[in-house]
Structure 1
Amino acid sequence: MNIKQAKEEIKHTVTAYLKKDDEDRYKIPLIRQRPVLLMGPPGIGKTQIMEQIAEECKIGLVAYTITHHTRQSAVGLPFIKEMEFAGKEYSITEYTMSEIIARVYRKIEEGCPEGILFIDEINCVSETLAPTMLQFLQCKTFGNQAVPEGWIIVAAGNPPEYNKSVREFDMVTLDRVRCMQVEADLGVWKAYARSRHIHGAILSYLELRPKNFYRVEADVDGLQFVTARGWEDLSILMQTYEEMGLPVDETVVGEFLHHKDVAEDAAAYFDLYQKYKDDYGIPLILEGKIRSEVFARIYDAAFDERLSVVNLLLDGLQNLFRSYGKEKAKTDRDFAALKEYRNSEGAKKEVFEEKKAAFDIQRKTLETIEEKTAAALEHAFDFMEQAFEGGQEMVVFVTDLATVAESARFLAEHNCDRYLQYNQELLIGSKRAELLAELNRD
C-alpha cells in the first residue's frame, strides 16, 4: 500500500481501538489491540503521517527513534532495593521508569488521556535493545512498566535491503502485530508536497522524471539513493537560498540527493527552470503583458520546456492564492474581533470607530489582492489557450489548480468560467492518468 492508504488504515485502527461500550470499556480488549508495525523504505513519510493522524484524531503523540536510545533510557536505570522474604532481608535490583513511558504519562498530565506511542526504526536496534523491543511488541511494556491504557502502539521499520543493521522479527512477534507494507508513491507524495509548498522546480522536475522520485541502488561506488525526505529538505533550503540570493548548484543538490546521476540531472534542470522563468517573463504573463516572441518560442519548444512553463505559471498563481488566503484569514479575524467588541459591555464609540477604520484598511487590502489574483488567473488562461490550445499542458494546469488547497478555495469562492469549462471538457481524472502513464513509460 502507499503512505496515504496506510494513514487511512491506521486512523481506522485508532478509531476502533479507542471505541468504548456503554460501560466506558474499550470494545476491543487491550490484549487484542495489536500494535501496528509499519514496514517501508526510509524517508517516505512514516513519521509525518503519525503527526497528521494524531492531529486529525485529536489525540496525543509521543514519538521516538529508538536507534537514538540506549537500553537504560528505554528500560530504565537499575537501583538496589531492600526487601524481606521469609523473615530474611535481601538486596534486589529494581528499575526506574522508562524514559519513554514517562513521556507518555507527561502527555497524559498535559491533557491527552489517549494517544499514539510511535517507535521508529524498531528493527534496527542494537543487540542489547533487541529483546526489549520484542517484549514491547509482544507485551506492550518497557521494562517493568506497561504502556498506559488508551495509548496505541505504532512502530515502523525498514526492510533489510535498505539497512544493514535490520533484525528480522520471529513468528511469535509477527503473530502479535498488524504488519503493513508501505511503498513510495509519487502521486500521493505530490498531494502532500503541494500542501507543504514544495519548491515548484522540484515538483516540475518530478513530473518529468517520476522514476527519480525514490531510488535506491547499490553499485561499485556504494549505495546511491534519493528519498522523499531528501526532496522536501532540499526544497526548504532552495527557497531560503533564493530569498538570500544564493545559488543552488550541483554540489548543494548532491548533499540532499545521494545519487550522482539524479543530483546532476536535477541541478541542471533547476538552472533551466530559472532560465525559463526569466526568458518567458512569467510575471509579465500574469499581468497580461505577453511579449510577442514568447509564443514563437513556446510553439517550437519540446514537451519538457512546455511543461516547465506551465509549472512556472502555477507557481506564480499559487503565490497569489496564498497571499489572498492569508489576507482573507486576517480580515475574517479582524471582523470577528470588531463584532465582538461592538457587542461587548462598555464598548466605546470612539474606540469602535478607530477599530473599524483599521478594519476598512484591511478590507481594502484584501480587495486589492483579490482583484490582482482574479486578473492573473484570467491572464494565465489567456496564455494557456493561445500557447497550448487545450492539449496535455492544459490538463496539468487545470488539475493542479483543483488539487492545491489555496487555489481550490479561491476557485470555490470566485467564479471562473474557463476553469469550469476545461475541468469538464478535459475529463481531468482519466486524461491526467494517461499523461502520467505516458511519462512513466519514457
Structure 2
Amino acid sequence: MNIKEAKEQIKNAIIAYSTVDRFGKPLIPIQKQRPIFLLGAPGIGKTAIVEQIAEELDIALVSYSMTHHTRQSALGLPYIVEKEYDGEHYQVSEYTMSEIIASVYEAMETTGKKRGILFLDEINCISETLAPSMLQFLQYKTFGRHQVPENWIVVTAGNPPEFNRSVHEFDIVTWDRLKRIEIEPEYASWKEYALAQQVHPAITSYLDIKPEHFYHISTTIDGKQFVTARGWDDLSQMIKLYEKNHLTVDHHLIEQYLQDETIARDFSHYYQLFHKYRSDYNITAILKGAATNEVKDRAKASQFDERLSLTALVISQLDHLVSHQLEKESMLKQVMEHIQSLHLKGLAPRQAVTVLEAGLQDLNDRFRQKNQSHATSTTETKILSEMIALEEKILATAAVSKDTIDQTVLGVIREELTDIKQQNQEVLTAFDAAFTFYEEVFGTDQEMVILTTEMTIHARISKYLYTHQCPKYQHYNENLLFENRQAELMNRIDALDLLELEANENKSA
C-alpha cells in the first residue's frame, strides 16, 4: 500500500486499540494488541507518518532506533535484592527500569499526555543477544520486568533485507505477533504530505513532471545510487535556508541529497529555470492584478513545463498568504476560548488583572513545556506565541483602562478581528487576480483545470476557500466537478454497453 493508506491503517489501529470499557480498560488487552510493523525501503517516510499521526491524534510520541541498543540498555541493568521465601532469605536478581520504558514515563510527565505511541525503528536489525527479549516484548509489551503503559501503542518499523545488510529475517513466530504493513513509494500520496509541509515548490513541480524520479534506486559499477522521499524533504529545507541567506543553490548542494548523478543534475538544471521563472514572472504583481503585458505574452508563448512551474509558484505564494491567515484566525479563536475560561465577567479591574496575569503565566508555562518536550509543530508554536502576544496586549490595556474588563477585552479582540478581516479581503483579492490572469492568458483550458485542481487538493488552501467565499474558485471548481461526474457517468454507460454486448454475444453463442 502507499504511504497515505498506511497512515490511515495505523490511525485506525490506534483508535481501535484505545477503545476502552466503562471501567477504562482496553477492550483488546495489551498482550493481544499486535504491534504495528511498517516494512518499507529507507527514506520512504515511515517515521514522518508516525509523527504526523501523533500530532493529529494529540498524543505523545517516543521514538527509538533499536540498532544501538544492547540487552542491558533495553532491559535495564541487573542488581541484587534480598527476598524471603518460606522463612529463608535469598539474594535475587532484579532489573532497573529499561531506558525505553523510562522514556515513555518521562514523556507522560513532560507533555501531560497519558496516551501515546512508542515507535521502535529498525527492530529487524537488533543484536542477537536482544532477539529473545524482543519476542517477549512484542507479545507482552515488557522490557525486563516493566511493561509499556496501557494507553500506549507500539509501532515498529524496518527495511527489507535488500536495503540493509544488518537485517535479520523474522521467523513465523515473530511475524505472527505483528500487524504487518508493507509500504510502497508513490509520489501522488507523498505530494499531499509535501504540500502540507510546504516543501519547496521547485521540488513538487519538478516531480509533477517527472514522478518517476521521486524514488529511485539503482546499482552501477560505482555502487548504489538512490533518491528517496527523505532526500527530497531534507533538500527542500536546505534550499529554503540557502534562499533565505542569499546563498547559491547549485549541483554540488543538490547531489548531497539526491544521490543519483543523473537525477541530481536534471533537477539542478530545472531548479535554475524555476529560479529564473520566479524572478521573471513577478508572482507578487500577478496576485495584485498588476501583471505586465510582457509577462502575459511570455506565459502565452511558454511550453507546458514552464506553465506547470508558473502554477507551482502561484500556488506557493497563495499558500503562504493563506497559512498566515489560518494561523491568525486559529489564534484569535483560542484566545477567546482561553479568556472565557478565566471567567473575568463581573470582576473588579484589579482582580481581573491578577486573573489575566495568572492565565498568561499558564500560557507561558505551556509554551516552555511543549518546546522542551518537542511536542508541538512549528505551526502550533507560532500560534501559541501569538496567543501570548495578544493576551499580553489585553493585560497591558486592562492595567491602564478605566473601562470594565469586558469592554477592554472586547475592544482588543475587535481590533484584532478587524485586522484579520482586512487581510482576508486582500487574500481573496489575490485569488481573484490569479484566476483573472489565467483567464486572460490561458482561457479555461487545461491550465485553469490544473490551477483549480491544485487549490482543491492543497489542504490549507481548500480549507480556507471552504470558509471564505471566492466566486471564481467556486465557479471553476463546480465546472470541474461536473466534468468529473460527466466522465464517470460516461464510463458507467460504456461499462453497461459492454456488459449488454457481452450478454448478447453469450445469447448468440
TM superposition score normalised by structure 2: 0.77
8 Å contact 1:36–1:155 — kept in the other structure?
A: yes
8 Å contact 1:98–1:142 — kept in the other structure?
A: yes
> How far did 1:88 drift?
7.9
CA distance in 2, matches of 1:335, 1:88: 66
- The aligned residue for residue 53 of structure 1 is 53
> How far did 1:330 drift?
4.5
CA distance in 2, matches of 1:331, 1:173: 50
- The aligned residue for residue 40 of structure 2 is 40
> How far did 1:328 drift?
3.1
Matched, 1:383 2:384: no
Matches within 5 A, 1:360-439: 361-427=415-481
CA distance in 2, matches of 1:20, 1:267: 53
Q: Quick one: which amino acid aligns to residue 310 of structure 1?
A: T
Matched, 1:29 2:25: no
- The aligned residue for residue 347 of structure 2 is 345
Matches within 5 A, 1:163-312: 163-312=164-313
Deviations 1:226-249 (A, max 9, x none): 111121121122222212111211
> How far did 1:335 drift?
6.0
Distance 1:147 1:299, change over 3 A: same
8 Å contact 2:82–2:90 — kept in the other structure?
A: yes
Distance 1:358 1:147, change over 3 A: closer
8 Å contact 1:6–1:180 — kept in the other structure?
A: yes
Deviations 1:145-173 (A, max 9, x none): 33333332221111112212111001111
> How far did 1:78 drift?
2.8
8 Å contact 1:331–1:366 — kept in the other structure?
A: no
8 Å contact 2:35–2:138 — kept in the other structure?
A: yes
Distance 1:77 1:338, change over 3 A: closer
Deviations 1:52-71 (A, max 9, x none): 33344444332211113333
> How far did 1:429 drift?
9.1
> How far did 1:410 drift?
2.8
Matches within 5 A, 1:122-161: 122-161=123-162
TM superposition score normalised by structure 1: 0.88
- The aligned residue for residue 68 of structure 1 is 68
8 Å contact 1:250–1:264 — kept in the other structure?
A: yes
> How far did 1:308 drift?
0.6
What is the identity percentage for the equivalent residue pairs of Structure 1 and Structure 2?
A: 44
Q: Quick one: which amino acid aligns to residue 2 of structure 1?
A: N
Distance 1:328 1:37, change over 3 A: closer
Structure 2: gaps spanning 5 or more residues: 350-400, 489-509
Q: Quick one: which amino acid aligns to residue 205 of structure 2?
A: S
CA distance in 1, matches of 2:59, 2:419: 38
CA distance in 2, matches of 1:358, 1:29: 51
Q: Quick one: which amino acid aligns to residue 261 of structure 1?
A: T
Deviations 1:283-309 (A, max 9, x none): 221121222222332233221111111
8 Å contact 2:77–2:95 — kept in the other structure?
A: yes
Distance 1:75 1:358, change over 3 A: same
> How far did 1:355 drift?
5.9
CA distance in 1, matches of 2:32, 2:440: 62
CA RMSD of aligned residues (A): 3.0
- Greater mean alpha carbon deviation, residues 307-316 or residues 54-63: 54-63
Aligned residues: 433
Secondary structure at the aligned position of 2:249 is classed as coil
Structure 1: gaps spanning 5 or more residues: 435-442
